[in-house]
């Protein structure tokens, strides 16, 4: 049983008053007639997501950033956050750095920390985030249309390289090392780009669990398909030189946004990517085939590792 089957079996319920319940990056609830609230919670736990050696500043940053990513993926503006913190003991130096990290991220995205919970125990950091969006253009995973362009907001794969580096991974140039660690430790969801362009977007999802796995959520689960041109997926040349594009496609923790849009908006979206200094682009098309096909150097390829899963 993987985590999605677990949620489906034990927790999925028909929605009553929510606009959208379990199943997307954030839940949607009514705020007033025009607007809605977006809610999500994400936890980082010791040994699964970080270790005792992890830099507390970046842990603080990341705990909030991964939650902001869920709001951004829904086309929302993050507004408030609650922090639930479990620590083994009071280490003032650690707490000081951790709090600086989370506050720096909150400042960058204009999020207000309004509450939380503190406990003693095995370390974990859980953030609940609240965001805002007009009801009429909130983005969901299920709104892709046949023949839509499929886009990614920036290059992918850096975070996985950064993760590998934190475990004494592959050799690479110092410049790439820096970029990879930056992506892994200090993700920056592309909020301004998404807010500027959501009027052109149909479906959207963050690729926290890896591109291959997240693509399934916006296609096959919606009885649609996709044709992806692997050679057009923006990634550092390291992946091509090592013939390991699969790593970039299946490695998680890239807090970039996968989205679909009508082909007629291609130029406008491309111009906005440039303006926001993002190296994203079109990587494929939504089809009616109910499967995701990856074409690499003119041949169909299969990527078996379907992204990061906690179980199964
Ligand atoms: P993400 O990768 O964006 O954090 P998840 O894969 O954790 O999302 O969760 C998928 C969906 O299932 C989300 O809508 C989430 O709110 C919901 N979900 C996850 N765990 C639970 C749970 N224990 N109870 C109810 N809903 C859950
Ligand atoms: Mg998500």
Mind listing the pLDDT tens digit for each residue in 206-232?
999 999 999 999 998 899 999 999 999
* pLDDT attached to residue 310: 61
- How close is the Cα of 302 to the center of ligand 1, in Å? 27
pLDDT band at 253 (very low <50, low <70, confident <90, very high): very high
CB 154 within 8 Å of CB 279: yes
Strand order in the sheet with 201-206: 201-206, 257-261, 149-152, 281-287, 225-229, 292-296, 299-301
| Beta carbon of 169 within 6 Å of any ligand 1 atom | no
176-190 pLDDT, tens digit per residue, is 999 999 999 999 999
| Beta carbon of 140 within 6 Å of any ligand 1 atom | no
* Phi, psi of 171, deg, nearest 5: -80, 145
As a whole number of angstroms, the distance between CA 146 and CA 265 comes to 15
**Could you tell me the two tokens for 276?**
């926001």
CB 187 within 8 Å of CB 181: no
Torsion 129-135-139-143 (CA) sign:
positive
CB 203 within 8 Å of CB 140: yes
* pLDDT attached to residue 311: 60
| Beta carbon of 42 within 6 Å of any ligand 1 atom | yes
Q: How far is CA 134 from CA 48, 77, 81, 195, in A?
A: 36, 10, 19, 11
Q: Phi-psi region for residue 277, left (φ > 0), alpha (ψ -120 to 50) or beta?
A: left
Residue 137 has pLDDT above 80, yes or no: yes
As a whole number of angstroms, the distance between CA 210 and CA 86 comes to 28
106-115, 190-199, 295-304: segment of lowest average pLDDT: 295-304
Q: Which atom of ligand 1 is nearest to the CA of 23?
A: 14
Q: Which atom of ligand 1 is nearest to the CA of 208?
A: 2
10-28 pLDDT, tens digit per residue, is 999 888 999 999 999 999 9
* pLDDT attached to residue 164: 87
> CB-hemisphere CA count at 13 Å for 199?
3
CB 163 within 8 Å of CB 295: no
Q: Which atom of ligand 1 is nearest to the CA of 70?
A: 3
Angle of helix 174-185 relative to helix 56-73, nearest 10 degrees?
A: 70
Parallel, antiparallel, or unpaired: how do β-strands 35-45 and 112-120 relate? unpaired
24-82 pLDDT, tens digit per residue, is 999 999 999 999 999 999 999 999 899 999 999 999 999 999 999 999 999 999 999 99
Average pLDDT estimate for 198-204: 98
* pLDDT attached to residue 217: 94
Average pLDDT estimate for 130-139: 97
As a whole number of angstroms, the distance between CA 112 and CA 102 comes to 11
pLDDT band at 305 (very low <50, low <70, confident <90, very high): low
| Beta carbon of 214 within 6 Å of any ligand 1 atom | no
As a whole number of angstroms, the distance between CA 45 and CA 67 comes to 14
Ligand nearest to the CA of 205: 2
Partners of 204 in the β-ladder: 259
| Beta carbon of 7 within 6 Å of any ligand 1 atom | yes
pLDDT band at 308 (very low <50, low <70, confident <90, very high): low
DSSP state of 186: S
* pLDDT attached to residue 14: 85
- Residue of the nearest CA to atom 21 in ligand 1? 7
| Beta carbon of 6 within 6 Å of any ligand 1 atom | no
More confident residue, 164 or 88: 88
Q: Which atom of ligand 1 is nearest to the CA of 66?
A: 4
- Residue of the nearest CA to atom 4 in ligand 1? 42
| Beta carbon of 253 within 6 Å of any ligand 1 atom | no
């Amino acid at each position: 049983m993987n985590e999605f089957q677990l949620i489906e079996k034990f927790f999925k319920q028909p929605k009553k008053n929510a606009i959208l319940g379990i199943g997307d990056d954030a839940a949607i609830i009514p705020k007033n007639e025009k607007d809605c609230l977006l809610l999500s919670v994400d936890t980082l736990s010791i040994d699964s997501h970080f270790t005792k050696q992890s830099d507390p500043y970046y842990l603080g940053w990341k705990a909030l950033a991964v939650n902001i990513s869920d709001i951004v993926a829904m086309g929302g503006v993050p507004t408030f956050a609650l922090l639930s913190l479990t620590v083994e003991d009071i280490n003032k130096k650690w707490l000081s750095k951790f709090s600086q990290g989370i506050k720096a991220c909150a400042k960058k995205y204009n999020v207000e920390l309004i509450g939380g919970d503190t406990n003693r125990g095995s370390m974990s950091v859980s953030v609940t985030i609240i965001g805002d969006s007009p009801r009429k253009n909130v983005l969901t995973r299920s709104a892709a249309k046949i023949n839509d362009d499929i886009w990614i907001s920036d290059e992918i794969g850096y975070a996985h390289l950064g993760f590998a580096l934190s475990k004494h991974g592959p050799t690479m140039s110092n410049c790439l090392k820096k970029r990879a660690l930056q992506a892994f430790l200090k993700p920056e969801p592309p909020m301004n780009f998404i807010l500027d362009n959501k009027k052109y977007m149909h479906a959207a999802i963050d690729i926290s669990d890896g591109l291959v796995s997240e693509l399934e959520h916006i296609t096959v689960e919606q009885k649609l398909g996709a044709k992806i041109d692997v050679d057009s997926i923006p990634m550092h040349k390291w992946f091509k030189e090592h013939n390991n594009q699969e790593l970039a496609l299946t490695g998680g923790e890239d807090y970039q946004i996968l989205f679909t849009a009508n082909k007629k908006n291609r130029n406008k979206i491309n111009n906005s990517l440039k303006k926001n200094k993002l190296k994203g682009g079109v990587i494929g098309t939504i089809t009616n085939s109910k499967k995701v096909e990856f074409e690499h150097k003119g041949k169909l390829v299969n990527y078996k590792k379907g992204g990061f899963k906690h179980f199964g």
